[in-house]
Amino acid sequence: MHEKKDPIIFSSYEPREGLFDEVFEDNGSVKSIYKTLFDLYGGHSVNDYENLNNKAKASFFNQGITFQVYDNEQTQEKIFPFDLFPRIIHPLEWEIIEKGAIQRSRALNLFLWDIYHDKKIIKDKVVPLDLLSSSEHYLHQMMHLDPPGKIYNHISGTDLIKHSDGEYYVLEDNIRCPSGVSYVICNRTALKRALFGVFNHYQAHSVTNYAGNLLQILETVIPRGVDNPNCVVISPGRFNSAYYEHSYLAKAMGVELVEGQDLFVENDFVYMKTINGPERVDIIYRRIDDAFIDPLEFRPDSALGVPGLFAAYKKGNVCLANAPGTGVADDKAVYTYMPEIIKYYLDEAPILNNVHTYRCSRPDELKYVLENIDKLVIKPVDEAGGYGISIGNQLTKSEIEKVKATIKEHPRKYIAQPILSLSVHPTYIEEEGSFEQRHVDLRTFTLLGKDKDFVLKGGLTRVALRKGNLIVNSSQGGGSKDTWVLKNEA
């Protein structure tokens, strides 16, 4: 029951022209898949909705899904912004995403095997040699090393967007330590707690089966001679911003969450220090970057890793997931060759679209980029988290000149893509007390094991909370939404 003076939440929703709205048609009517949901939400008054929103927030605090912010000498705990209005994905649309994600994961895995062995793809001149030789993430230590089960990228996060043409495009593949999957699960939990009634009207796929599948995948890549593998998750520790996720995954898999200091290597075997003495470790799902996993082999100043771990890995006595050196393949320059890579290894056409990319390392394309910066997004090839991105049409003249100079100095370091228009989704804006259009993307999670694969039916829909902002990363002020993949058409 709400009073008359209390407006309903969609009353000031203003669709802007030229944007692809996930919920509304161009003529303002609600898309059929969202119809029931819109009716269920639309009846809420701003006050009611504000209450629900606060409940959802409390749910995150109580679940301890927070991160620390340091300001004015005081540490504050904050939650990642969560939007209660879910994103729905049609089962047919999902089928394509799922197939496409697996295809990319497989192709990237074969690519990694190849470049760390015979380098056929380079000999065949499908991709240029300098693509590898100039990559910071290429690890010569991985040459001719066979990871258990021949798997490199056990866990991949594929970032997709929907363009104004209504089609999905892959923005990037993340195959180092992709994070965010725990938010998929706690977004679902928070939504269920606040608005359980809506689930009576939609049949969404469960997302809680991720950890179980992850463990099964990891157990397909066990080191030789191990029957009953002991799997652990290694984390940099509780001050890491993804610590919640690390602990969640360990708990949900029922395995130990360890830190570097809990492990040691003896005679090329890895052990953890338990209250009953040393216990052997066979599979390590590592959430520490390559450079930090072993101070003897990589960065000597790393206190997060385990001395001797890489030697044990080299001997085949322990499996690391993902394998070291995968970063060379999720580089934004490699991304531009994905259609060729898929064709080369799988002899298939890519199922998911790649965004057309201009490589500044090629003189002709560099020329185009320098002349058309105002129409392009310039990205460094090896930065994660949305850092270092310049969006051409938001730059002043002097900024454009600056960007030009940086590109000319290190052309290999930059790529450019047309400014894509991310689709928008109605998102509740607290300060306004109403729903507004905000840009969204979608990160999917794909698991690859020996003769087994899995794609989580759902994903992390990230929302750029600032008006007009296209960058959705949480480090840049993004929020997220629960994402429903429907079992059947609504």
Partner 1 sequence: MLARVANNLFWMGRYIERSEHIARYLNVNYFSSLDAPHELSQSRQFMLRSTLFMIGDPVNDTDQVLDEEKVLFNTALNQEKDYSIISNIKSARENANSARDLISTGLYEAINRFYHYVLNYDTNFFVKKGLYDFTVHVTEQTAVLRGKIRGSLLHDQVYAIIMLGINIERATQIIRIINAKYHDALLATGSYGDQVAHSFEWTTLLKCIESYDMMRRFYRKTPTSLSTLEFLILNGDCPRSVMNSLNQIYRHMSVLDKAKRPAKDSTSFLVGKLRAEIEFTKVESIECNVQEFIQQILEKLVEISQKMEKEFFNY
Out of 11, 32, 62, 394, name the contact with partner 1 by CB under 8 A. Answer: 62
The DSSP annotation for 351-377 comes to SSEEPP-EETTSHHHHHHHHH-GGGEE
- Which of 218, 272, 309, 448: binder of partner 1 (CB under 8 A)? 272
- The one among 51, 274, 372, 394 contacting partner 1 by CB under 8 A: 274
Identity of the residue, 279 or 383, whose beta carbon is nearer to partner 1 in the bound complex: 279
Dihedral sign of CA atoms 329, 333, 337, 338 in order: positive
CA distance 447 to 128: 28
User: Hey, which residues between 187 and 246 contact partner 1 (CB under 8 A)?
Assistant: 233, 237-238, 243-244
Residues in contact with partner 1, counted by CB under 8 A, come to a total of 24
Backbone angles phi, psi at 62, to 5 degrees: -65, -35
Q: Least CB distance from residue 482 to partner 1, whole Å?
A: 19
Our finding on whether 247 is near partner 1 (CB under 8 A) is yes
445 within 8 A of 407, measured Cβ to Cβ: no
CB of 312 to partner 1, least distance (A): 19
Per CB under 8 A, 394 contacts partner 1: no
With respect to partner 1, which residue has the nearer C-beta, 171 or 272? Answer: 272
**What H or E segment, with its residue span, contains residue 82?**
strand 82-89
Q: Which is nearer to partner 1, 245 or 482 (CB)?
A: 245
**Residue among 275, 347, 364, 488 that touches partner 1 (CB under 8 A):** 275
Q: DSSP label at 290?
A: G
What's the closest the beta carbon of residue 273 comes to partner 1, in angstroms? 5
Give min distance, CB of 28 to partner 1, in A. 42
What DSSP state is assigned to residue 302? -
Choosing from 36, 47, 53, 63, the residue that interacts with partner 1 (CB under 8 A) is 63
- What 3-state DSSP class applies to 249? helix
In the complex, least distance from residue 79 CB atom to partner 1, rounded to whole angstroms: 11
Strand partners, 293: none
Q: Is 304 in the site for partner 1 (CB under 8 A)?
A: no
Enter the DSSP assignment of 169: E
Instruction: Return the number of other C-beta atoms located less than 10 Å from residue 21's C-beta.
Output: 18
Residue 139 and residue 293 in contact, taking contact as beta carbons nearer than 8 Å: no
| Residue of 89, 185, 218, 258 interacting with partner 1 (CB under 8 A) | 258
Q: How far is the CB of 234 from partner 1 (least distance, A)?
A: 12
End-to-end CA separation in angstroms for the chain: 28
Which residue has tokens 């040393």?
278
The CA dihedral of 11, 17, 23, 24, to the nearest 10 degrees, is 70
Nearer to partner 1 among residue 182 and residue 446 (C-beta) = 182
Question: How far is 310 from 347, CA to CA, in rounded Å?
Answer: 34
Closer CB to partner 1, 85 or 285, in the complex: 285
Residue 93 or 256 with smaller CB distance to partner 1: 256
Applying CB under 8 A, which part among 272-280, 302-310, 312-320, 476-484 lies near partner 1?
272-280
- Distance, CA of 45 to CA of 457 (rounded, Å): 32
- The span from the CA of 110 to the CA of 30, in Å, is 43
Based on CB atoms, which residue is closest to partner 1, 116 or 248?
A: 248
Minimum Å gap between C-beta 151 and partner 1 is: 24
Of 262 and 268, CB closest to partner 1: 262
- Judged on CB neighbours under 10 Å (0-12, 13-18, 19+), 3 is exposed
Taking the least distance from each CB to partner 1, the nearer of 211 and 381 is 211
Q: By CB under 8 A, which span of 14-22, 61-69, 84-92, 157-165 interacts with partner 1?
A: 61-69
- CB closer to partner 1 out of 171 and 265: 265
Instruction: List strand residue ranges (DSSP E) for 287-351, in order.
Output: 319-321
- 256 scored as a contact of partner 1 (CB under 8 A): yes
CA 476 distance to own-chain centroid: 14
Nearer to partner 1, 90 or 280 (CB): 280
Q: How far is the CB of 178 from partner 1 (least distance, A)?
A: 20
Q: Which range touches partner 1 (CB under 8 A), out of 18-26, 215-223, 251-259, 369-377?
A: 251-259
3-class state of residue 464 by DSSP: strand
| Contact assessment for residue 156 and residue 98, using Cβ atoms and an 8 Å cutoff | no
Instruction: Please tell me the distance from the alpha carbon of residue 283 to that of residue 295, in angstroms, as a whole number.
Output: 19
Q: Interface residues with partner 1 (CB under 8 A)?
A: 61-64, 233, 237-238, 243-244, 247-248, 250-251, 255-259, 261-262, 272-275
